Amino acid sequence: MSRVSLEKMALINRQHAEDGTLELAKNIVEIPASNYYDLDRWNLEIEKIFKRLPLVLGLSKELPNIGDFKALEAVGIPIIIKRNSKGKLNAFLNMCRHRGAAIMKVGFGNSKSFRCPYHGWAYDENGNLIGIADNKNFGDLDKECNGLLKLNVLEKAGIIWVNLDEKTTLSTQDFLSGYDEMLAHFGLEKWHIFDTRMVKGPNWKVAYDGYLDLYHLPVLHSETFGTEISNKAMFYQWGPHQRVISPSRLPDQDDFAGDGKDYTNSPVSEVPTSILMTGVWTIFPHISIASFNAGGRSVLLSQLMPGESPEESFTMQYYLMEKKPNKKQIKEAEEQFKFLEFVVQEEDYATGLRLQKGLKTGKLEKVLFGRNERGGQIFHDWVEKLIKTKNKDLNKLF
């Protein structure tokens, strides 16, 4: 995979760091405060964004073997993702075509086929209906037309995207806007899943705003990340997806080899790809991938999903490590993952919960995104565009 784009971004960042400048938005942008708590608005976001766009619902490493499957729910929709005998992923609605019963419980497993626990209807690895219990007495039914409802699924860069709309005409590849080529530089299909956990948080946009915000780092996280960390950010865009990175990163943030080497002044052609991939990579509308160094090169991949009301969300956090850790590295990784839980739960999300409580009073009519917060401006612009775009025009956006 070409590094040209990564090296270009690194050169741009260096120039801004040397000049003490940033690429700024044209204006300060105002967003209606009610967008964060209005129920009708929230329902539109669920329908127009989460139920129409491809979502990241898994990692290749979660389903490494033939027959592996993952059953889950996303915005209330039950789904099965399964790797078939040819190594290809299929995705289905987890609903038997007889009465709609969930075929598999939420979780992971391995099987050649599926059998509904209610009446025993059976489906093969590709979702085809292969057996109707007591078929003779049930009556004639065209099995070919009654397989599990299939969903579009794409596996790229070690990441699994699924579109919840079984009738969609949107190409996931088009939606990614070339961003998957950048994410491929991580090589996540080879990484180790060290641990996962679920964190409850505020409105999904409050949480997502934080992914795109370096402005708050030395203030809100002064006692965790320290006051020396930069609050300045550059934003690079591929359709609705963005990379957020400070032009002035601290050398120890990029010391993945643990040798103390500072690449700040090295020719970009000599800088390891791992360092060129630092910063935060966001996948619209609900993913953040942030690089860390604990137990070796690691990332915190956050999968954000709306909850059951405008005021809650749930984030599945994956702590991924480039290499399987030894005993010493396991301890370091455990400490880092625990530390990040505190940062997110007690600093980011706790602040977000207080923020949305204040907004819900209706005392503020708007919130502001400054010229230095261009990432947030881009995000909210895409949310607005998607809400206003009809199904027939969806493909034209990407």
Q: What is the pLDDT of residue 256?
A: 74
Q: Please give the Cα distance from 309 to 307 (Å, whole number).
A: 6
Cis status of the peptide bond prior to 285, with omega within 30 of 0? yes
The number of residues making up the chain comes to 398
Specify whether domain 55-169 bears CATH 2.102.10.10.
Answer: yes
C-alpha closest to that of 315 among 187, 165, 203, 232: 203
Query: What is the model's pTM?
Result: 0.96
Domain edges within the chain:
4-52+175-397, 55-169
| Ranges of residues in the chain whose predicted pLDDT is under 50 | none
The answer to whether residues 246 and 215 touch, using CB atoms and an 8 Å cutoff, is no
CATH topology of domain 4-52+175-397: Naphthalene 1,2-dioxygenase Alpha Subunit; Chain A, domain 1 (3.90.380)
77-83 and 89-93 as β-strands: parallel, antiparallel, unpaired? antiparallel
Q: Please give the Cα distance from 318 to 79 (Å, whole number).
A: 20
